Amino acid sequence: MKCAAAAYPLDPLTRFADFDAKITAWVAEAADGGAEIAIFPEYGAMELAHLAGPSVAADLEGSLRAVSDIWPEADALFSRLAVQHGLALVAPSAPIFDQNYGLRPVNRACIYGAQGRIGHQDKQIMTRFEREIWQVQSGGPLQVFDLGDLRVGVLICYDAEFPLLARALVEAGVDLLLVPSCTDSGAGYWRVRVGAMARALEGQCAVLQSPTVGQAAWSPAVDENHGAAAIYGPAEAGFCDNGVFAEGAMNKPGWVMADIDLGRLRDLRQNGTVLTRRDWPESAARTALVPQVKDLP
């Protein structure tokens, strides 16, 4: 299976037609490269805020609501493109005001297949800026998405730093973890990258990381973006020695693609040099033996 992860720049677009043309060109490039699944980054949809005008885009709360309001049009676009090209897509995540989860937005990534929209994944654990400044909240639970012979799960940015979230997906049979990310510093990018690589090692699965990149001074939400798109796997001799199937240059827009042999990946879990996916329960049993310390800060 050929997979594609986008390093995606945010532009101050003025018409939805501009967004349509941009996304259409990006998806066509991935499809022309043979991608069967393609992923866009966390908060990549924030460029839609500029469609409501520069003053709205420059206002944090106004931009969150503007993106949520126009998302149904973007949703229809991604659904159409997935059907047209016959591939699976993870759209850039967006702040969505969903009345099922209260008065504040959730951070939501929508997933599409060759038949159209499949569902969505909400971010589980908020970073400090989301929790304290944006007041974004957790939405629905973790989901598993079936794409033919492939099961995938989505861990949005910070979620990839929590092994128990990935473990739940791995135990549900996921072969591929998708990590849309948005980080405003090199340190933030590396935290998510290290988390994503660790999840690939622990779960003996493949992980796609798709970041926002470049400057967007017109937006207080996503003004600084640092990262590199990459596809990770288990570090295994003769398979993926350093745990990196493919990676792009830092802050360089474009697709990063890699072929992933699902049969070989699954075989590793039975016949690999190490069997981290199988041996996880043993590690959990061992931690139960650690004495508990009270009154930690």
What is the rounded CA–CA span in Å between residue 291 and residue 253? 48
Q: What is the pLDDT of residues 3-31, one digit of tens each?
A: 999 999 999 999 999 999 999 999 999 99
Looking at this protein, which amino acid is placed at residue 126?
Answer: M
Q: What is the pLDDT of residues 213-226, one digit of tens each?
A: 999 999 999 999 99
Quick check: is 294 in a domain?
no
- Residue 259 lies in domain: 2-287
In the chain, the number of structural domains is: 1
pLDDT at 128 exceeding the cut of 70 = yes
Quick check: is 20 in a domain?
yes
Quick check: is 297 in a domain?
no
Residue 292 confidence class, pLDDT cut points 50, 70, 90? confident
Residue 295 confidence class, pLDDT cut points 50, 70, 90? low
Name, in order, each residue with C-beta under 8 angstroms of 89's C-beta and a sequence gap of 6 or more: 27, 37, 38, 39, 40, 78, 81, 82, 111, 112
Quick check: is 260 in a domain?
yes
* Greatest pairwise CA separation for the chain in angstroms: 60
Quick check: is 212 in a domain?
yes
Q: What is the pLDDT of residues 67-98, one digit of tens each?
A: 999 999 999 999 999 999 999 999 999 999 99
Quick check: is 293 in a domain?
no
Average pLDDT of the residues in 174-192: 97
pLDDT at 145 exceeding the cut of 80 = yes
Say what the pLDDT of residue 219 is. Answer: 97
Residue 288 confidence class, pLDDT cut points 50, 70, 90? confident
Residue pointed to by tokens 């360089």: 252
Average pLDDT of the residues in 259-281: 92
Domain with residue 176: its CATH number is 3.60.110.10
Cα dihedral across residues 256, 257, 261, 266: positive or negative:
positive
Average per-residue pLDDT for the chain: 95
Quick check: is 61 in a domain?
yes
pTM comes to: 0.95
pLDDT at 293 exceeding the cut of 80 = no
